[in-house]
Amino acid sequence: MKAVLRAFIYDFDLRTATEQFQRLRNDWGMDGISLVAVSPARVVLLPNAPGDRLRWIGEGTLCFQPHPAWYADLRFLPVFDEQAAKEEVFRRLVEAAKEAGLSVMAVVPCCQNSAIGRRYHDLTVLNALDDRIQDFLCPANPDARTLMAALVGDLCSNYAIDGVELESLGYLLLSRVQGLVSDIELTPAIEFLMSRCFCAHCTRAATERDIEIERVRFFAKTQLEQFFIAPTDFANTPLEWDIWASLVEGVGEQILYLRMAIVSSLLALLVEAAQKKDKKVHIEGHLLPARLWTVGLDRQQMVLLADAIEVDAKEVPPDRLPPSLILNKQVVSTNAELWVRLHPSERFVANRHAFLAQAKACKDHNVSGVVFAGYGSLRRQNWSWIQEAVSLLKS
Ligand SMILES: [Zn+2]
């Protein structure tokens, strides 16, 4: 059972990082560290960081220095933190962690990148209403795919990491957009319809397979327009494969399979970029595997391609963790490892006792590893939760 701490580069002071990593290894019992390589948020609160407590990073900003040759096929270089790049913070932290005996993974959000999407709209999802979702890159878009493969290739070639944790892969759902303001409560069905992509690349992929994607787009557009006038029965349709597959005389199913094929081929591309450099690949799954199709993830392909599937405990109420782990163990079978991301904070679990119960469930279900999310962003008193959980996992 491995224990890994997820952190931002801003959580460490370069002058004392080696000792900090040694403490994490020797006193906390950590096996590894997982460093956020691309910021998932515009701003983060890091009460324990040595520098600014409020860190205005910018969603999609790279926390490492990109090597331009990797992006030569694109018309842009990704946005990166210039100060951190100048000081080579990412590289120096990776080296310090390795020196302390920790393994190092880099966390890469794939299809969620507003830094790119807001500058280059043509890479983003275009929904049935002809609105761009500027935070989401379309998995079928050739430039978006080149960018994601370049990020993984750059990290795996130029930094001494052991692997990558790929997150936010697929056709994401609108609720992932940070700070969306709406006076209408969007049901899961409406959110799903709002998030479907009908960009030129998705349309072309469908047309090449003789799939009548225009009929599906018209259906989605009509449903959304009716819902914006008054509540509809359709808006309460549960997100179940059989129902959505039967829509538009079965064209719905063809589109669902097409999207899964597109996401699987993107995943294969990213895995290839990492494996060329002998790096491990963890892919973000879902505690409820039956939800994966909603973002176009094919669980069989994920398990075949990845070294590990990583699920986030936040996705179900704390007491539902054990049955969800059983489901996920069945999905990964013996082909991949199952890892669980735990959040040692009262924001996500009631108290220390409930948190340790989650850690115990991970141990009881024999998961391969646990990632503790948050370090500099936690209350310092919660650090003891992590230390207790690690000794429980390793007992
Ligand atoms: Zn698209």
CA of 171 relative to ligand 1 center, distance in Å: 8
CA of 152 relative to ligand 1 center, distance in Å: 21
Instruction: Examine residue 331 and state whether it is found in any structural domain, yes or no.
Output: yes
- How crowded is the C-beta side of 9, counted as CA atoms within 13 Å? 29
* Structural domains counted in the chain: 1
Instruction: Examine residue 223 and state whether it is found in any structural domain, yes or no.
Output: no
CA of 206 relative to ligand 1 center, distance in Å: 10
Contact 309, 281 (CB under 8 A): no
Kindly tell me if the per-residue pLDDT of 138 is higher than 90: yes
- Name the phi and psi angles at 106, rounded to 5: -110, 130
Instruction: Examine residue 125 and state whether it is found in any structural domain, yes or no.
Output: no
Contact 170, 297 (CB under 8 A): yes
CA of 12 relative to ligand 1 center, distance in Å: 38
Band (pLDDT 50/70/90 cuts) for residue 144 is very high
Band (pLDDT 50/70/90 cuts) for residue 318 is confident
Kindly tell me if the per-residue pLDDT of 25 is higher than 90: yes
User: Shortest CA distance to 159 belongs to which of 88, 71, 59?
Assistant: 88
Band (pLDDT 50/70/90 cuts) for residue 145 is very high
CA of 262 relative to ligand 1 center, distance in Å: 10
What CATH number has the domain bearing residue 172?
Answer: 3.20.20.80
Instruction: Examine residue 212 and state whether it is found in any structural domain, yes or no.
Output: no
Band (pLDDT 50/70/90 cuts) for residue 178 is confident
Task: Quote the tokens at residue 207.
Answer: 């047309």
Band (pLDDT 50/70/90 cuts) for residue 85 is very high
Tokens 């969306």 belong to which residue? 180
Kindly tell me if the per-residue pLDDT of 179 is higher than 90: no
CA of 199 relative to ligand 1 center, distance in Å: 4
Q: Which residues pair with 55 in a beta bridge?
A: 44
Band (pLDDT 50/70/90 cuts) for residue 333 is confident
CA of 140 relative to ligand 1 center, distance in Å: 5
Instruction: Examine residue 109 and state whether it is found in any structural domain, yes or no.
Output: yes
Instruction: Examine residue 42 and state whether it is found in any structural domain, yes or no.
Output: yes
Band (pLDDT 50/70/90 cuts) for residue 60 is very high
Query: pTM score, two decimals?
Result: 0.96
Instruction: Examine residue 334 and state whether it is found in any structural domain, yes or no.
Output: yes
CA of 196 relative to ligand 1 center, distance in Å: 8
Letter for the amino acid at 64? F
Q: Which whole-number Å values give the CA distances from 291 to 93, 101, 154, 183, in the listed order?
A: 36, 37, 31, 26
CA of 369 relative to ligand 1 center, distance in Å: 34
Instruction: Examine residue 236 and state whether it is found in any structural domain, yes or no.
Output: no
Q: Which whole-number Å values give the CA distances from 109 to 39, 102, 127, in the listed order?
A: 8, 22, 21
CA of 145 relative to ligand 1 center, distance in Å: 11
Letter for the amino acid at 210? D
Q: What's the rounded Cα separation, in Å, for the pair 51 and 28?
A: 23
Q: What's the rounded Cα separation, in Å, for the pair 189 and 174?
A: 11
Kindly tell me if the per-residue pLDDT of 313 is higher than 90: yes
Structural domain containing residue 349? 2-120+136-178+264-394
Which pLDDT tens digit goes with each residue over 250-289?
Answer: 999 999 999 999 999 999 999 999 999 999 999 999 999 9
